[in-house]
């Protein structure tokens, strides 16, 4: 569909990590809300498959975008791709990695330089690059927003062992630091992007049933949660869709916990 034919209120939505467990469910939820979705992921084949399986959008065709989003050039490319489809109404920074060893946490002394750099680069630098590239292409009429996929670890940190002092997370200190940085990126962008009327919010899950968590030993983890189960990806996607919606027009700088009561605010 060319620009001349496109209804005026059609918006594109970019979901980074869109082929992942939370990502692909979020893409579906946003397609149902009427966005034309750009599914962005390292795995271009899976991104294209997710895009092809989405319910049709009235304003255009969903697309898969393959690329390593730790590159600023790739993020610029992504932003231009989405804005050619329709004005960009939403960026979901959903990209993330959480390395584990033997199903659990990697201790401080085993977090080598390479692991530290890769986690910070995927979980924090890439969302910064994406936000910096996308925001200038968003309409400044108060309809556009950014949502960060943060984590319970943003506030809680990652440390110790399951048998020491709970709560326990099977991840690395690099993961907690990256997500803490992402939370600050959210509140800093609220200020930076106020002049463009772009809202910036976050969703902070605890444990969600995806590939990221399937490497962990679930039994003892679930016992820590007041709601004794992992979240379903749909429960995270619903919070993202709410934050992007007109019903959340006055919600700016907020982060919704979807952690089953694990870490009450």
Ligand X SMILES: NC(=O)c1ccc[n+]([C@@H]2O[C@H](COP(=O)([O-])OP(=O)(O)OC[C@H]3O[C@@H](n4cnc5c(N)ncnc54)[C@H](O)[C@@H]3O)[C@@H](O)[C@H]2O)c1
Footprint of ligand X on this chain (CB under 6 A)? Answer: 17, 19-23, 41-43, 68-70, 94-98, 122, 149, 151, 205, 207-208, 210-213
Nearest distance from residue 7's CB to ligand X, in Å? Answer: 30
Nearer residue to ligand X within complex by CB, 48 or 97: 97
The Cα angle at residue 24 between residues 51 and 128, in degrees rounded to 5: 100
Which residue's CB is nearer to ligand X, number 168 or number 207? 207
Active site includes 230? no
- Please give the structure tokens belonging to residue 129: 């690059």
**Beta carbons of 225 and 172 less than 8 angstroms apart:** no
Are residues 180 and 156 in contact, defined by beta-carbon separation less than 8 angstroms?
A: no
- Measured between alpha carbons, how far is 19 from 5 in angstroms, rounded to an integer? 29
**Beta pairing partners, 145:** 90, 199
For the bound state, the minimum distance from the C-beta of residue 61 to ligand X, rounded and expressed in Å, comes to 21
Class of residue 257 by CB neighbours under 10 A (exposed 0-12, middle 13-18, buried 19+): buried
Q: Measured from the CB atom, is 196 or 235 closer to ligand X? A: 235
**In the complex, minimum distance from the CB of residue 253 to ligand X, in angstroms, rounded to a whole number:** 19
Q: Please identify, using beta-carbon distances, which residue of 129 and 143 lies nearer to ligand X.
A: 129
Catalytic residue among 35, 129, 168, 175: 175
**Shortest Å distance, C-beta 57 to ligand X:** 21
Active-site positions read 175
């Amino acid at each position: 569909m060319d620009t001349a034919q496109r209804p005026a209120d059609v918006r594109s939505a970019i979901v980074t990590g869109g082929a992942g467990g939370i990502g692909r469910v979020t893409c579906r939820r946003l397609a149902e809300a009427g966005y034309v979705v750009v599914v962005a992921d390292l795995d271009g084949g899976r991104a294209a498959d997710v895009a092809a399986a989405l319910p049709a959008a009235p304003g255009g065709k969903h697309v898969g975008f393959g690329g390593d989003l730790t590159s600023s050039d790739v993020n610029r490319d992504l932003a231009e791709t989405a804005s050619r489809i329709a004005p960009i109404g939403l960026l979901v920074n959903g990209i993330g990695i959480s390395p584990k060893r033997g199903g659990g946490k990697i201790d401080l002394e085993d977090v080598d330089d390479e692991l530290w750099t890769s986690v910070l680069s995927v979980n924090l630098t890439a969302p910064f690059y994406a936000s910096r590239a996308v925001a200038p292409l968003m309409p400044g009429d108060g309809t556009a927003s950014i949502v960060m996929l943060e984590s319970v670890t943003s506030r809680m940190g990652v440390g110790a062992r399951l048998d020491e002092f709970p709560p326990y997370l099977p991840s690395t200190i690099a993961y907690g630091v990256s997500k803490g940085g992402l939370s600050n990126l959210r509140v800093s962008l609220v200020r930076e992007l106020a002049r463009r009327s772009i809202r910036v919010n976050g969703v902070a899950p605890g444990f969600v049933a995806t590939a990221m968590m399937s490497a962990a030993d679930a039994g003892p983890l679930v016992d820590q949660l007041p709601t004794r189960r992992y979240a379903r990806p749909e429960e995270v996607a619903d919070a993202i869709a709410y934050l992007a919606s007109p019903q959340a027009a006055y919600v700016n700088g907020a982060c919704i916990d979807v952690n089953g009561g694990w870490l009450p605010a």
